[in-house]
Amino acid sequence: MTTTAVAGAAAGVREFRMPDVGEGLTEAEILKWMVAPGDRVHDGQVVCEVETAKAAVELPIPFDGVVRELHFPEGTMVDVGTSIIAVEVDGPAGAGAAAPAEEAQAPAADGAAAAAEPEAEERQAVLVGYGPRSGSARRRPRKVQLTPPGQAQEAPAPAQVPSGAETPAPAAAAAAAAPAAPSPVGGGRALAKPPVRKMAKDMGIDLSVVPPTGPEGTVTRDDLRAFAAANASAAAPGTPVEEAAPAGQSAAPALGAAVEDEVRVPIRGVRRATAQAMVASAFTAPHVTEWVQVDVTRTMKLVRKLKETGELGAGLRVSPMLLIARALLVAVRRNPEINARWDEANQEIVHRRAVNLGIAAATPRGLLVPNIKDAGAKTLPELAEALGSLISTAREGRTAPADMQGGTITITNVGVFGVDSGTPILNPGEAAILAVGQVRELPWVHKGKVVPRQVTTLALSFDHRLVDGELGSKVLADTAAILERPKRLLTWS
């Protein structure tokens, strides 16, 4: 992985910028700092861990020196190209790192040293699995305090409005509570990135009344948060600042304020990516879900036997999920048409040869679905090793972005939560997903008698554009048949 070394404004200081995360992602969250001001760092040393919508990634520093400043605390969302750490490098200023004297003495707007433009010969900033990014970005200014702490805001005199004209209530309240904002560049609409416009829309804030602090008068996320905080005590949504709430009547929650019995959690990283993917899948692919109850007593006995004998190999984890995965892979091999995707642009069904089997894993960062590449070609011991590595890596938050791309069919185990079944939503681009419920003893007719047997429920959701009822039913029935009589793994493989 290559990283960026950017010349610092002061002699001997170099700035390390947030690398380009690629694939349309423009920001990352700083999860954990591995260093502190005063620590000595060396080329290749990991200085922090960041989280994108794809994965958690460790960032190494590309030069030697002593940490001078960490520009952002843990938990901060940082735009790509923004300087995150200043390092006093060994030597005068590092090779080719000296900045002009006038730049070295000019402080930046937020008090940090202004970073000079990177030289053409220096390395590009990229994360693992992503390509380089052209151009550069400047550091985002820190949050602006609109109202001094402990002081109430005074509402300016209402602006004169032509007779008969109406002013929208939220915009009027916001405009009355905020200081005069600099006019947008060119006198047009307020300048802001698409994510900032979306954030403003969700918060109900008119961008034209928000004081911008970004480059060339751009409104940033911090500007929106500062504006909302400044208005929290000034006015309730839709209420003019000149009008106080009637006596004995509680006012509505102010803009950006949290109600006492509510806790608001920002939607970031994996959670945001999952939400967007599930909405896109649910309203794009027509879902069909089928269920079947299965007597898995023989499969559970086989799992216990493999654990006791260690036949698959030392150190390999044997679980019911291993045999369920093998059963599904055999069912897909018998019905290969289900291993496909829908190409909307070309109006084609694309059949895939390799089965990249996804396993949904609940992690502290949210739901991750890494996949085992070409799982159908693996032996049972190889599948056990890949499955164990995939799950442990996901739970530790170390899944590489490449491991979550290219999946063709997924298994989600809801049984571990004591749930019998469900209607899973497809991962975008996949044709089917199998939900596995809890295994529990139920009265079952076995050899003409009602006896207690270990039973589970399987639910298969599939994209009805490319999988019809017959094909989906065959895959589900074959999977159930193998789990009912696991010897079929030998005869059907």
Q: Which residue ranges make up each domain of the chain?
A: 6-105, 169-232, 271-491
Q: Is the pLDDT of residue 49 over 90?
A: no
pLDDT per position as a tens digit, 194-242: 777 778 877 778 888 888 888 878 888 888 888 887 776 454 444 443 3
Residue 166, pLDDT score: 44
- For residues 429 and 243, the model is more confident at 429
**Which is more confidently placed, 188 or 90?**
90
| Residue from 331, 45, 6, 315 nearest 136 by CA | 6
Distance between alpha carbon 314 and the CA centroid of its chain, in Å? 36
pLDDT in tens, 438-453: 999 999 999 999 999 9
Q: Residue 137: its pLDDT value, please?
A: 44
pLDDT of 433: 95
Q: Are 159 and 240 in contact (CB under 8 A)?
A: no
Strands 13-17 and 6-7: antiparallel
More confident residue, 364 or 249: 364
Count, in order, helices (H) and strands (E) of the chain. Answer: 10, 22
What is the model's pLDDT at position 91? 60
- pLDDT tier for residue 25 given thresholds of 50, 70 and 90: low
- Per-residue model confidence as pLDDT tens digits over 468-482: 999 999 999 999 999
Report which of 457, 264, 437, 274 is spatially closest to residue 363, judged by C-alpha positions.
Answer: 274
Q: 271-491 — its CATH code? A: 3.30.559.10
Return d(Cα 271, Cα 278) in angstroms, integer. 11
Query: Half-sphere exposure of 325 toward its Cβ, with a 13 Å CA cutoff?
Result: 33
pLDDT at 222: 85
pLDDT for the residue numbered 144: 42
Q: In angstroms, how far is CA 222 from the centroid of its own chain?
A: 20
Predicted local distance difference test score (pLDDT) of residue 396: 78
pLDDT band at 430 (very low <50, low <70, confident <90, very high): very high
Residues 269-284 have pLDDT tens digits of: 666 777 777 777 777 8
Q: Which of 79-93, 224-238, 318-332, 406-420 has the lowest mean pLDDT?
A: 224-238
Return the pLDDT at 237.
43
Q: What pLDDT, on a 0 to 100 scale, did the predictor assign at position 232?
A: 63
Fold annotation for 169-232: Dihydrolipoamide Transferase (4.10.320)
Q: What is the pLDDT of residues 78-132, one digit of tens each?
A: 888 889 999 998 765 444 333 333 333 333 334 433 333 444 344 444 444 444 4
How high does pLDDT run on average in the chain?
75
Q: Which residues have C-beta within 8 Å of that of residue 246, sequence separation ≥ 6?
A: none
Catalytic, 464? Answer yes
The residue length of the chain stands at 493
Region 311-323: mean pLDDT is 89
Q: What is the pLDDT of residue 21?
A: 55
pLDDT at 337: 95
pLDDT band at 435 (very low <50, low <70, confident <90, very high): very high
Which of 53-67, 145-159, 318-332, 353-367 shows the highest mean pLDDT? 318-332
Residue 135: CB atoms within 10 Å: 6
Q: To the nearest whole percent, how much of the chain has pLDDT over 90? A: 34
Pull the structure tokens for residue 322: 């291993």
The whole-angstrom separation of Cα 106 and Cα 113 is 8
* pLDDT cut 70: percent of the chain above it: 69
The answer, yes or no, to whether residue 330 has pLDDT greater than 60, is yes
Q: Tell me: pLDDT of 368 over 90.
A: no
324/322 Cα distance (integer angstroms): 5
CATH of domain 6-105: 2.40.50.100
Does the pLDDT at position 151 exceed 90?
Answer: no
> CB of 240 within 8 A of CB of 169?
yes
**Pairwise CA distance, residues 189 & 217, whole Å:** 11
DSSP structural state of residue 43: T
